[in-house]
A = this chain, B = another copy of it.
Amino acid sequence: MGGDQGPIPVVAGMARVAKRDPDVAFVVHGDKSQLKKRIKKYKALSTRCEVKPSTKVISMDIKPSIALRNGKDSSMWSTIDTLKTGLANVAVSCGNTGALMAMSMLNLRKAAGVSRPAIACLCPSSNESGFNVLLDAGADIKADERDLLCYSILGTKFAQNGFSIVKPRIGLLNVGTESHKGRSEIKNAYNLISENEEANGYNFIGFVEGTDIFSDEVDVIVTDGFTGNTAIKSSEGAAKIIRNQLRQAFTHSPFSRIGGFFAYTSLRRFFKRIDPRRSNGGVFLGLNGIVIKAHGGSDPVGIEAAINLGVKLARSKSF
């Protein structure tokens, strides 16, 4: 209910998943009459959709602490609760990130040995899996060296279970790869992550820079939530302006329109590959349960991608 466009794209995204995947069922939370009306529109959803009514909606700009205090009757709380009771295997939301993390932590609890949960994002790369994992993408705005070690371990497990990478390569994000660069907590983290390499089954490759987030030299990029969030959003901004300029290049003159006509299938393939909606979804790591946060402004294609990611993780038995 709480995403930028309410339940309409959510139900439409569910329908897209249901059409292609016969073994997925849904428990959907929120305004009962509104949801039932939307669900009715899709034949694929009719027999595998349960509606759990809830009255409150967590708005996008509410503080997590206030959401926790007043949010017990909300669709978000009900969603996490369904995961807690085992009725659902995955929770997906495009609502308020901070509130979702706070409710998830309170209800699902941190997994054993985890000091701080994190949000992992998938970044397109030329690695075999097609993705690199970046964390933390914004669960917390600060991270000390122990948190960064914890993120390395969480990222390792995610890469192992989600992408079958036996020994993931971990890179610590910094402003340069030289050892004297960066803040003191990052230098301390460098040593701590290095010391714990063998015990945790990762391959620590040292400092990486922003340019390496999409590189095939690394599998997991570890950073604090402030930097991670900015890195992801900056890349999205860059991709957006590049897409616009490509469109402009092909509508620049009648001749370039003709070029665009002949290049249509190639351009379509390209736009599909770099479509940010298709790598939609931050995964909450370090909790007793799988929670996926989709973009607040997700359209049906974005919701579909977020649900598919959750389904994939739920099906990987070891996750």
Binding site for B on A (CB under 8 A): 61, 63, 98, 124-126, 138, 141-142, 173, 175, 178, 180-183, 209-215, 223, 225-227, 229-242, 244-246, 248-250, 252, 255-256, 258-267, 269-270, 273-274
Contact = CB atoms under 8 A, between A and B. Distances in A.
Given A125-B241, A230-B231, A259-B264, 4 more contacts: A142-B183, A212-B237, A227-B230, A259-B263
Contacts of A270: 245-246, 248-250
B262 A274 contact: no
A175 B233 CA distance: 9
8 contacts: A141-B182, A210-B237, A211-B240, A234-B235, A238-B238, A249-B267, A260-B263, A262-B263
Nearest to A177: B61
B231 A249 contact: no
Nearest to A250: B266
B258 A262 contact: yes
A21 B88 CA distance: 68
Nearest to A66: B180
Given A210-B232, A234-B231, A238-B235, A266 B273 contact: no
A210 to B, nearest CB: 3
Contact of A237 (B141, B213, B230, B259): B213
Contacts of A239: 238-239, 242
A250 B263 contact: yes
B237 A215 contact: yes
Contacts of A229: 175, 210
A69 B98 CA distance: 48
Contacts of A215: 237
Given A229-B210, A230-B175, A233-B209, A245 B274 contact: yes
A105 B244 CA distance: 40
Contacts of A227: 226-227, 230
Contact of A249 (B213, B252, B266): B266
A52 B237 CA distance: 43
A173 B233 CA distance: 11
B233 A211 contact: yes
A231 B223 CA distance: 13
Contacts of A255: 265
Contacts of A125: 241
A211 to B, nearest CB: 4
Contact of A234 (B181, B210, B264, B269): B210
Nearest to A210: B233
Contacts of A259: 262-267
B245 A273 contact: yes
A273 B249 contact: yes
A240 B214 CA distance: 9
A212 B180 CA distance: 31
A246 B124 CA distance: 14
B214 A237 contact: yes
